[in-house]
Each structure stands twice: as C-alpha cells, then as structure tokens.
Amino acid sequence: MTFSKELIEEIRAAFPRAAADFNGRKRAFFDNGTATLVLDQAAQAETEARINWSANVGGIFDESKQASAAIHSGRVAVADFLNAPSPKSIVSGESATALLFNLSYAIGKELTGSENVVITDYEHYTNVDPWEELRKREKVQQVRYAQLNMEEGTLDINHLQELIDSNTKIVAISAASNMLGTKSSLEEIGKIAREVEAYFIVDAVHHIPHGPTDVQSLDCDFLVFSGYKLFSSHGSFLYGKEEHLNTLKPFKVKPAPKNPPGKFEWGTRNQAMFAAISGVIDHFRWLSSEVQANYVGKYTEYSEQKRDLKIAMDAIEQYETGLSKAVLTGFDDIPGLLEIPEVKVLGLTDINRISERDPTFSFEVANIPEEEVVTRLWKEGGIAARAGHYYSYAQDVYKKPKIIRISLVHYNTFEEISTFLKTLNKIIKNR
Ligand SMILES: Cc1ncc(COP(=O)(O)O)c(C=O)c1O
C-alpha cells in the first residue's frame, strides 16, 4: 500500500517543518534516525501542559489534577501503542540511556557475578554500556556479543544461540540497528531467551516510528523507546512486565512511591512529555481513520485505540517499504544506491528481503570523503543527511568511525528520494 498524494500532503501538513526549515529553506529531512521532526499536535499539547498544568501532581487544585490526568492519559496512550496490558507497566525517564542504566542497576542486585549477558554487534552503546558496567562491577562475568553476517549486515542468529547458556540472565537486543537498518528477529530471539529464563530486553529506540510494536506478542520482559524518535519531545518510556516491576529493587529515594511505575521513576515527572506523546498517538489514530478501508476484518482481535494504532503502524510500515525500495533501486530514469557503482551500502540490500529492514541506509562513496558528500547533498539538493558516528557498536565492528547515513520516516516522499538520488549521481559525475 502506498499513501495517496492527498494523504501524504495531509501527513506533511501535520509536521510544521516537513517541507522547509525554520528559515523557510525547502529541504528533505533525511536525518530522522538521529531525531524525527516534531508533530504540531505533540508540540501544542506539550506547550499546553507546560503553561496550564505546570503544577506538581498530588495537589487539590485544577492545575495539579490536570497534570496527573495528563500523565495518566500519556501512560494509557503508550500502553495501547505497545499493546501493554496496563498503564502501570509504563515507566518514564529522561532518556533510553538513563532507563537502561536504571534497569541494569536493579537487575544487577539480583545477580551473583557468575552470570552472563548476551547482546549483539549492532547495538547502540545505550544497550552496551549498562551491561558492561555490570561486568566491571563484577555483577556478571561476561558480556557476550553475537556476530553479524558482515556482508549482508544481518545478525548471525546461530552464533547468538551458541552464546546463550544456562548462565545467561539477560538477552538485550535492538529491534533494529540504527546504523544498518536491519531488523532483529525478535520473536525467535525471545524464544531462545525464554528457554534459559533470561530477561529478554528490547531496545526499540531506532525501530519505533517504523512499524507496529507489540510487547505481548514479543513476550519481552522490557522494551524501551524515546519520544524524540517518535515525533514527540525528549524523554523516554520503558515497558516492563508488571511481575518484574513489582519484584525488582531499583535505586530510589525513600519517600518515592513503593510501587511501579513510580518506584522506577527518578525525580519529578514531566507531564509535558506525557501530553506530547498523547498528541502523537492521536496523529496515528487520525492516520488509521484515513486508511481504514484497507483493513476491513484485520486486527479485529484488538479493540478501539489498540486496533487503530496497529492499523496506522502497519500502513506506515508498508509505505516505508516502498521508500526503501526506491532508495535502493531508484526510478526509471534515476539509478538507485544499488545501481551506482561508486556507492557501497552497508546493510541488507536484497530487495526480496526488504521487509527485514527499516528505511535507514549507511553508505560510502568511493573516493569522496563523507563530509564532502553530505555537504554537497545539502548545498546542491537540500538533503539534510549526516556523516558521523551514531554511537553504534556496529561502526566499530565495521571499522567505520564515520559513515553517511540517511533515515526516512512516513512523512518522507518519493519526490524527495528522487532529488536525493539525482543529486548524489550528479556529485559523483561532477567530481
Ligand atoms: C537503537 C538506539 N538505542 C538507544 C538510543 C539512545 O536513546 P536516548 O538518546 O533516548 O538515550 C538511540 C539513539 O540514537 C538508538 O538509535
């Protein structure tokens, strides 16, 4: 399914900076893997909460009651988005990094020092160092890294399976690599983790805007994502199975709540971030209403908001698959990344396996430095891309401290891809 011209225009209209930046400069925003653009509805809801409901929770006056209500609605919205059984299983925090460190400290208290953690060679460092810290403090013996099939940029699942044994207490995996775009086979990995009763932890920060995420069907123990990668404000959310949230003992100050989610939340909550994420969920519900006709009889096992959110994310996933194909194979008159001999894409390029990747592409251009490529893409084509290190462990594995990356989301268009490819082809020709 692709979005109609009218629908993509309406989607873009919901993002004040989709077409042009604050200077009015028209550009294609292809740096979404770093941070997505902000949805108007999310920013408005955030401002309303900041100005009108700025009071702290627990008071008898309206500003305080509204702050509590915004936090509760935000938790319900996130729970429905993830198909979590209850809003009580949604913890908020400053960032995914902060939430995973907090979680690692809490799990570390249960460990004896003889256990191991299994991660992969394509984790973001956010899902590396909380576990390496456990090793340094002798809470676990080893952090084991599952290898990649380097040529195709996928996870070597057999190696992952070999690394997991009865001493594995944590299997922590990203839903998709923020460098390669490859998605992990989370269902399969979850099964392997459960066989040894390890905590199965998912870093969904990169994948979250690209398709449906369902914590119950994944049967994961924890899953984390960040609002600024989902058209919202900074601040992140951690889903945890209630049984674990009840029994784990996070670091906390004494008077803070004894029960989840409050017991995992450091300091005062930010009602504005909950209001903002509710705005994003409303956008997805609107999108779902626009594409309903394609989903008659589908996702009927979910009710109301949950079903709408599944439909919206499914539609987004399908639209983005089309974008990925266009990036790789181009158009009738414009070669795609795969057809330009000077370009090497690091990651899955097999068109028959396109559904195994998100529209995030890291690539290099023979004989042209990365900085020059992104500078010329920007100046000559108005393409906002980046060359750098994205805190991905995979960059160290591939020995690519700097790499060009473009990452697309559902407000990006085929026209933008066409401009990008034309400009890139021109840069290569005219050097
Ligand atoms: C896969 C992944 N995990 C974690 C993070 C870090 O998230 P945060 O900035 O919320 O700590 C990122 C950010 O790029 C990411 O892509």
pLDDT in tens, 328-379: 999 999 999 999 999 999 999 999 999 999 999 999 999 999 999 999 999 9
Tell how many helices (H) and how many strands (E) occur in the chain.
14, 17
**Ligand 1 and 32: CB distance under 6 A:** no
Answer yes or no: is 295 within a domain.
no
Ligand 1 close to Cβ of residue 31 (< 6 A):
no
Mean per-residue pLDDT over the chain, rounded: 97
| pLDDT above 80: residue 120 | yes
Is residue 87 domain-shared with residue 191, that is, in the same domain? yes
Q: Assign residue 11 the CATH number of its domain.
A: 3.90.1150.10
Same domain, 247 and 340: no
Q: Is residue 79 within 6 Å of ligand 1 at its C-beta?
A: no
Best residue among 32, 34, 97, 184 to mutate for probing ligand 1's pocket (most ligand atoms within 8 Å of CB) is 97
Residue 134: pLDDT over 80? yes
Find the 189 Cα to ligand 1 centroid distance in Å: 21
Cα–Cα distance for residue pair 222/245, rounded to 1 Å: 10
34 in the same domain as 84:
no
- The DSSP H or E segment spanning 202 is strand 199-203
For residues 162 and 193, state if they share a domain.
Answer: yes
Distance separating alpha carbons of residues 232 and 229, to the nearest angstrom: 7
Looking at the structure, tell me whether residues 213 and 354 fall in a common domain: no
Burial grade of 235 (CB within 10 A; 0-12, 13-18, 19 or more): buried
Triad 147, 153, 159: Cα angle to 5°: 25
Instruction: Give phi and psi for 378, each to the nearest 5.
Output: -70, -50
Say if 286 falls within a structural domain: no
148 and 82 within one domain: yes
Instruction: Give me the mean pLDDT over the 296-312 stretch.
Output: 96
**Phi and psi (nearest 5°) for 164?**
-85, 125
Q: Are residues 328 and 397 in the same domain?
A: yes
Report the Cα 240 to chain-centroid distance in Å.
17
Question: Measured between alpha carbons, how far is 289 from 344 in angstroms, rounded to an integer?
Answer: 40
Q: What is the rounded average pLDDT of the residues 230-257? A: 97
Q: Which atom of ligand 1 is nearest to the CA of 234?
A: 10
8 A C-beta contact, residue 171 and residue 164: yes
Distance (Å) from CA 335 to ligand 1 centroid: 32
Query: Residue range 303-326: average pLDDT?
Result: 97
268 within some domain: yes
Is the model's pLDDT at 303 over the cut of 90?
no
Taking the centre of ligand 1 as the mean of its atom positions, its distance from the CA of residue 341, in whole angstroms, is 32
Whole-number Cα distances in Å, 46 to 154, 203, 405: 38, 25, 30
Q: Which atom of ligand 1 is nearest to the CA of 174?
A: 1
**Domain around 350:** 5-39+312-429
Q: Is the dihedral of CA 303, 307, 308, 309 positive or negative?
A: positive
**Structure confidence at residue 377 (pLDDT):** 98
Q: Which amino acid is at 121?
A: D
**The pLDDT of residue 19:** 94
Kindly tell me if the per-residue pLDDT of 2 is higher than 90. no
Answer left, alpha or beta for residue 115, where phi above 0 means left and psi between -120 and 50 means alpha: beta
Long-range contacts of 5-10 (CB under 8 A, 24+ apart): 7/290, 7/291, 8/411, 8/413, 10/290
**Final residue of a structural domain among 257, 280, 303:** 280
pLDDT over 80 at 205, yes or no: yes
* The overall pTM is greater than 0.95: yes
pLDDT band at 431 (very low <50, low <70, confident <90, very high): confident
Rounded to the nearest angstrom, the distance between the alpha carbon of 210 and the centre of ligand 1 is 15
Strands 222-226 and 383-384, sheet pairing = unpaired
Within 261-351, where are the H helices? 271-291, 304-329
Note whether 88 and 222 are same-domain residues: yes
Q: Is residue 172 part of a domain?
A: yes
End position of a domain, from candidates 280, 295, 324: 280
Percent of the chain with pLDDT over 70: 100
The single-letter code of the amino acid at 382 is: G
Residues 25 and 72 in one domain: no
Is the same domain home to 16 and 30?
yes
